[in-house]
Amino acid sequence: MGAIRIAASMQGVHCVLHAPQGDSYADLLFTMIARSAKRPPVTYTSFQARDLGADTAELVRKTLRETVERFQPRALLVGEACTGELLQDQPAALAQGMGFDCPVVPLELPAFTRKEHWGASETFHQLVRTLLRGQQPRTLDPVAEGRRPRANLLGATALGFRCRDDIAEVTKLLDSAGVDVNLSAPAGASPEDLLRIPEADFNVCLYPEIAQSTCVWLERMFKQPWVKTVPIGVGATRDFLIEVGEVAGIDTSAAIAAGRTRLPWFSRSVDSTYLTGKRVFIFGDASHVIAAARIATEELGFEVVGLGSYSREFARELRAAAERHGVEALISDDYLEVEAAVLELAPELVLGTQMERHIAKRAGIPCAVISSPVHVQDFPARYAPQMGFEGANVIFDTWVHPLMMGLEEHLITMFREDEEFNDEAVASHLGSGKLTAASADTAPGPATTAEPTTSADGMGADAAPAWEPEAERELKKIPFFVRGKARRNTERYAAERGVARITVETLYDAKAYFGR
Amino acid sequence: MTDMRSRSQAKASPACAANGLGAGIGDQGAGQLSAGQLGAGDLAGNLQVQHEQGQRQVFCGLAGIVWLHRKIQDAFFLVVGSRTCAHLLQSAAGVMIFAEPRFATAVLGDRDLAGLADCNEELDRVVTELLARRPDIGTLFLVASCPSEVIKLDLENAAERLARAQQGRVRVLAYSGSGLDTTFTQGEDTCLSALVPVLPEAAAGSDALLVLGTLPDVVEDQFRRLFEALGIPSLHFLPPRRGSELPPVGPGTRLLAAQPFVGDTAAALIDRGATLIAAPYPFGIEGTRAWIGVAAEAFGISAERVEAVTAPAAKRAAVGLERYRAQLAGKRISFLPDSQLEIPLARFLQRECGMELVEVGVPYLDRRMMGAELDWLPAALRLTEGQDLERQLDRLRADRPDLTVCGLGLANPLEAEGLTTKWSIELVFSPVHGFDQAADLAELFVRPLNRRERLAF
């Protein structure tokens, strides 16, 4: 899958995979999730049981021959899907022996141990290595040559999170600092473009999950320094420009001063007071999670109560980030484990991938998506980068809109007994009336978020303390959007102290104990 | 494997990988297509079949889990496979992870590949944990995948072992959803075949109708009402809604296939004494009437009685269908091979909606299951079996039909080339069988044409 993402990102590259019938489902991730108008440039050998008795190596050769003839790629990636690996036909070696005109990049991706990002990273690295073989490091001096410094933007891929707009935004950002973009890769690049990588003065590692190993290699082989800061958030974007200045030997302070972003002011605006200390749980790929944790704390005034990632390759960086925020990093690709952490921490906002969006929806917690794995909704029609100053604007809106606004909270608290604001009333624009249980489940918006009960959220499932009717009535007086949390906290408080029946006193004891 | 994701991250041991290759796998091949069957073949009648081999753009049989787990409410499907299998299920069925789903993947890691003993041990551990955590599971299916087949992990043996360990509390069965053996809907066939040996024996002398193949509950209920009105003595459906309600089978069982992809299951049921009723499939008015008619005939129910019972539903179906017929008549349609529903759907669109068939592709042609349908197809039809994707797309571009039925991987790229498409998976998931869905079925083909007409750009 990682290899396909690289091939699909580029022009003139084709991938041949020795894979059984059925593995072609990967195509639909591109054509349906990213709404790609072209099939990804992949050909599968599509072997079936009957082929296994015969010569599968011949099938590989036939597929390679026909693919090269039909698509005439300028670089050919050859690898195996997991089952193909077991056949040991060594398709890459076969391809190398077939005398094709184009460079053949063998992919050795142990599908049984490694995952998609690693596969993409390794594929990109191998492709760059193969194509640059024999090239020497350049002696570059922009000042002497009378030109602006040039950078390569590395790491953007098909199916990556908002890559399309990030490239545009970072290109603008670098332009404002007086830096030209030599090329962006893998997204949008052709094999000929990759040959020009050494012509840049430095590299920008936009997505370390994909490009870090390539940047490290280019530094070693071509003496190209690389910019390590990922410019997501206002602070990181400023740091990025500072680092660009250091690496390129230019003064970027004017570009930093000229950066237009509304996030800092919107965040200081008094209507944002209610964001203070909002408890947020963050999960996704390592780079987006680390960036999100910084924005959440430094730029929005949230409190990070948990963070984690499925990127095991970046576990060290994640643990360091988690330590900065005083939490322990959850490194896992088991969504049930992530779900358990979310339920346990009961955050007020979840920032995650599509998986966490499902988890948060089920738990009735507001959520914004910050990272791949992606969904068709993560390919918006409008310009919506995550990086740079405009990215910070997008992030402010995306994270804050799912939350109930502070003024709304106050109004609801003040008027909660009123006919209209009563939490069982439907929104006034939907006509008056009470919510029925059925419509409450289907109506959109936080106002109708299902209130998790002890049995539904699985906490304290056995021997849950019972509620006195009076305490239950008191609980109803708490605004509905925090009622679920109050219920859980009270039950946890009671359970931990062996209180069998929850009274009004227990409710307030728990409130005092847990705070807001 | 927590919930089943194997965490075995042991060192690579390449030696293991070779293990399991060999002739045996070839022998397990699903039989419909045999290698070397290239070129045109003559079918009963004058219908020519073109055979193709090459790259395929289809799902493997694991995709069947998406509807099977919804149908059999107390069953759990545990795929023993790779990350790719887990990824397929997650993306194909990802929308259903709201409730903890009743399917999962036990991911084979390097250590599992290294030794089958370890692998079996790991599987036992995962299953034991799963069953302890999910007491609602009545039937557990261990689903073989491409890698488990290639390393020759014997899941049938494992199923027996695990069933013994559960002491009858849970039924454990194994089947293959591997792309080596199964194409898309064929995964239902292998699943239902695994159920056949555990079906109870029907009492001697009891006549019953067994309807074979997953139908949406709403459609199943409609058919139930029709068959009961006809006076069919005893009626069962396979798969049942619960694994604990398995239908009996025996010499009095008359089999009626509701889906064309259940050939192996039908054969297994015939081995247990059942008789297969040869019928077209219940798509459209004509198909549904014939399907019910031949079943009734097998039970000695008169044609008049069938007419009386089906007339009201057929009449309103005709009213509903009329609206769409006008929009489909004269339009040219091609089917790429995908779900096995291609032949009966093409027949419906040609005979009842007036469409012109350009090419009908099927993943494999099961002549026994398709006999009655083939008789209804025009003799000049271009019928292709198997797939060589690029060549098929070349033909499609040359044909430029008004509508192309294809999988989701191809739909958008073809739309971008200016072709109008209907994605086939919707035809598998939507209620489209029977009289009361005949118009809905036609509408599924009308919608993309209609949309194309509405949009200004």
pLDDT in tens, B324-353: 999 999 999 999 999 999 999 999 999 999
Residue with the larger pLDDT of the pair B69 and B331: B331
Q: How many CB pairs lie under 8 A apart between chains A and B?
A: 174
State the average pLDDT over residues B240-262: 95
Q: Tell me the pLDDT tens digit for each residue of A284-298.
A: 999 999 999 999 999
First to last CA, chain B: 50
Contact A44 B56 (CB under 8 A): yes
Contacts of A20 in chain B (CB under 8 A): 60, 146, 178-180
Three-state DSSP at A395 gives helix
Q: Tell me the pLDDT tens digit for each residue of A357-393.
A: 988 988 889 999 999 888 888 899 999 999 999 999 9
| Burial (CB count within 10 angstroms: exposed 0-12, middle 13-18, buried 19+), residue B157 | exposed
**Is A23:B179 a contact under the CB 8 Å cutoff?**
yes
Return the pLDDT at B119.
Answer: 85
Mean pLDDT check: name the lowest of A351-355, B393-397, B402-406: A351-355
Return the pLDDT at B122.
Answer: 87
The mean predicted confidence, pLDDT, of chain B is: 86
Chain B residue with the nearest C-alpha to that of A373:
B91
State the average pLDDT over residues B144-160: 91
**Is A293:A321 a contact under the CB 8 Å cutoff?**
yes
State the average pLDDT over residues A413-441: 46
**Nearest-CA distance B146 → chain A (Å):** 6
Contacts of B178 in chain A (CB under 8 A): 20, 22, 49
Return the pLDDT at B2.
Answer: 35
- Nearest-angstrom CA–CA distance, A477 and A166: 46
State the average pLDDT over residues A235-240: 97
Catalytic residue numbers of A, as ranges: 271
Contacts of A51 in chain B (CB under 8 A): 26, 35
Residue with tokens 């039950």: A491
**Nearest-CA distance A399 → chain B (Å):** 22
Return the pLDDT at A428.
Answer: 42
Chain A residue with the nearest C-alpha to that of B99:
A362
Q: Over 90: is that where the pLDDT of B358 sits?
A: yes
Q: Over 80: is that where the pLDDT of A454 sits?
A: no
Return the pLDDT at A429.
Answer: 44
Residue A38 has phi, psi (to 5 degrees) of -120, 150
Contact A24 B54 (CB under 8 A): no
**Nearest-CA distance B157 → chain A (Å):** 21
**Is A276:A301 a contact under the CB 8 Å cutoff?**
yes
Q: Over 80: is that where the pLDDT of A437 sits?
A: no
Q: Over 90: is that where the pLDDT of B155 sits?
A: yes
Return the pLDDT at B404.
Answer: 98
Q: Over 70: is that where the pLDDT of A433 sits?
A: no
Q: Over 80: is that where the pLDDT of A481 sits?
A: no
Which among A44, A50, A51 has the least Cβ separation from residue B55?
A: A44
- Nearest-angstrom CA–CA distance, A177 and A250: 8
Mean pLDDT check: name the lowest of A113-117, A164-168, B236-240: A113-117
Choosing among B82, B100, B112, which should be mutated to test the A contact, i.e. which has the most A CBs within 10 A?
A: B82
Contact A31 B413 (CB under 8 A): yes
Return the pLDDT at B11.
Answer: 32
Mean pLDDT check: name the lowest of A53-67, B90-104, B354-368: B90-104
**pLDDT grade, residue A410 (50/70/90)?**
low
- Nearest-angstrom CA–CA distance, B362 and A291: 50
Contacts of B93 in chain A (CB under 8 A): none
Put simply, the chain A residues between 416 and 455 with a CB less than 8 A from any chain B CB are none
Return the pLDDT at A415.
Answer: 56
A358 at interface of B, judged by CB pairs closer than 8 A: yes
**pLDDT grade, residue B38 (50/70/90)?**
very low
Put simply, the chain A residues between 33 and 92 with a CB less than 8 A from any chain B CB are 35-39, 43-54, 63, 66, 70, 81-83, 85-88
**Is B118:B16 a contact under the CB 8 Å cutoff?**
no
Instruction: Please calculate the CA angle B84-B10-B131 and round it to the nearest 5 degrees.
Output: 65
**pLDDT grade, residue B100 (50/70/90)?**
low
Mean pLDDT check: name the lowest of A2-6, A448-452, B119-123, B194-198: A448-452
Return the pLDDT at B139.
Answer: 95
Q: Tell me the pLDDT tens digit for each residue of A303-327.
A: 999 999 999 999 999 999 999 999 9
Strand B275-276 to A150-156 pairing: unpaired
**Nearest-CA distance B352 → chain A (Å):** 32
State the average pLDDT over residues B276-284: 97
- Nearest-angstrom CA–CA distance, A503 and A493: 12
**Is A488:A502 a contact under the CB 8 Å cutoff?**
no
Q: Determine if residue B72 is left, alpha or beta; phi over 0 gives left, psi from -120 to 50 gives alpha, anything else beta.
A: beta
Contact A24 B183 (CB under 8 A): no
**pLDDT grade, residue A352 (50/70/90)?**
very high
Q: Tell me the pLDDT tens digit for each residue of B206-226.
A: 899 999 999 999 999 999 999
Contacts of B84 in chain A (CB under 8 A): 1, 23, 81-82, 111
Chain A residue with the nearest C-alpha to that of B390:
A70
A340 at interface of B, judged by CB pairs closer than 8 A: no
Which among A45, A336, A361 has the least Cβ separation from residue B2?
A: A336
Tell me which range, A134-143, A375-384, B189-198, is most confidently predicted by mean pLDDT.
Answer: B189-198
Contact B21 A86 (CB under 8 A): yes
ipTM, two decimals, is 0.80
Mean pLDDT check: name the lowest of B19-23, B78-82, B303-307, B320-324: B19-23
Which among A31, A336, A361 has the least Cβ separation from residue B409?
A: A31
**pLDDT grade, residue A413 (50/70/90)?**
low
**pLDDT grade, residue B426 (50/70/90)?**
confident
Residue with the larger pLDDT of the pair B114 and A420: B114
**Is B126:A129 a contact under the CB 8 Å cutoff?**
no
State the average pLDDT over residues A203-232: 97
**Is A318:A331 a contact under the CB 8 Å cutoff?**
yes
Q: Report the amino acid identity of residue B394.
A: D
Return the pLDDT at B92.
Answer: 66
Q: Tell me the pLDDT tens digit for each residue of A101-111.
A: 999 999 877 65
Choosing among A24, A66, A313, which should be mutated to test the B contact, i.e. which has the most B CBs within 10 A?
A: A24
Return the pLDDT at B39.
Answer: 45
Return the pLDDT at A416.
Answer: 56
Q: Over 70: is that where the pLDDT of B142 sits?
A: yes
State the average pLDDT over residues A25-42: 88
**pLDDT grade, residue B307 (50/70/90)?**
very high
- Nearest-angstrom CA–CA distance, B133 and B10: 27
Tell me which range, A219-228, A269-278, A452-461, is most confidently predicted by mean pLDDT.
Answer: A219-228
pTM over 0.90: no
